[in-house]
């Protein structure tokens, strides 16, 4: 059984975020042979969220980190070491899982034992694939190999840093997208609901500065960074885990 961890952040700020989170939880509650955990950061959860969670065996885990990387580390520590799972599915609260998604992913993993990290395929019109930490399934050994998420990245660049560290470790990115891991993506992530333009810009530039300091001018320069991430995206599109 693959547990599902839903992340949410300050959803009390708008009714849209509450409704979006309920849609997400309803989609996870329909999954067969799985257990949902709502990892909430800094929210005053509504009665509707608590009632639905209580009625559908969804465990709420609260924190006040104000930090996405810390929340992801909480999830991995909980899923791998307390829940004793070798895999965990992590999705944002603006994601809706297609029915039978988790059982299909579990079936795929059982036949592809070398997989380490699986991206979702977004259902939209036209269909396309996204490379951000909105919906993914991660293996315990991979998390232990790459290490914890760098908590200096409290929101932005969290995914880019983990991609870069994976590339540094393996010489390629062992991430794989599969068609059976299908999701509907609201595409209105929390940052648009929670941050004004000034806050958004300050947080982004702060994270960019840390990323630049960590990976250097070569990684961060527009020319070489573009080449690096194009190579990664090409892997996703080709569904290749080969160097």
Nearest partner of 31 among 103, 139, 110, judged by Cα: 103
Q: How confident is the model at residue 193 (pLDDT cuts 50, 70, 90)?
A: low
pLDDT score of 129: 45
Q: In what order do the strands lie in the sheet with 59-63?
A: 59-63, 36-41, 4-9, 87-92, 135-139, 117-123, 175-185, 95-97
Mean pLDDT, residues 93-113: 92
Q: Which domains are assigned to the chain? A: 4-238 (3.90.550.10)
pTM of the model as a whole:
0.86
Q: Of all residues in the chain, what percent carry a pLDDT higher than 90?
A: 48
In whole angstroms, give the CA distance from residue 74 to residue 64.
12
Among all chains, which residue has been given the structure tokens 């961890």?
Answer: 5
Among all chains, which residue has been given the structure tokens 């990115």?
Answer: 173
Nearest partner of 178 among 125, 233, 236, 230, judged by Cα: 236
């Amino acid at each position: 059984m693959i547990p599902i961890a839903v992340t949410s952040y300050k959803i009390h700020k708008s009714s849209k975020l509450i409704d979006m989170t309920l849609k997400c939880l309803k989609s996870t509650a329909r999954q067969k042979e799985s257990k949902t955990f709502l990892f909430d950061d800094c929210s005053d959860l509504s009665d509707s969220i608590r009632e639905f969670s209580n009625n559908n065996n969804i465990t709420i885990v609260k924190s006040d980190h104000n930090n996405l990387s810390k929340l992801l580390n909480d999830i991995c520590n909980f899923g791998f070491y307390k829940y004793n799972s070798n895999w965990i599915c992590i999705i944002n609260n603006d994601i809706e899982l297609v029915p039978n998604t988790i059982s299909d992913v579990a079936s795929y993993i059982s036949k592809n034992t070398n997989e380490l990290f699986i991206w979702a395929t977004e259902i939209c019109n036209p269909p396309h694939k996204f490379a951000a930490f909105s919906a993914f399934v991660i293996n315990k050994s991979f998390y232990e190999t790459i290490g914890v998420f760098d908590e200096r990245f409290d929101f932005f660049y969290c995914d880019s840093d983990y991609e870069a560290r994976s590339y540094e470790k393996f010489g390629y990115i062992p991430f794989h997208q599969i068609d059976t891991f299908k999701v509907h993506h609201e595409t209105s992530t929390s940052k648009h609901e929670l941050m004004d333009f000034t806050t958004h810009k300050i947080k982004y530039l702060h994270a960019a500065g840390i990323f630049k300091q960590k990976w250097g001018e070569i990684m961060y320069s527009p020319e070489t960074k573009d080449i690096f991430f194009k190579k990664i995206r090409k892997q996703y599109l080709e569904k290749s885990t080969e160097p």
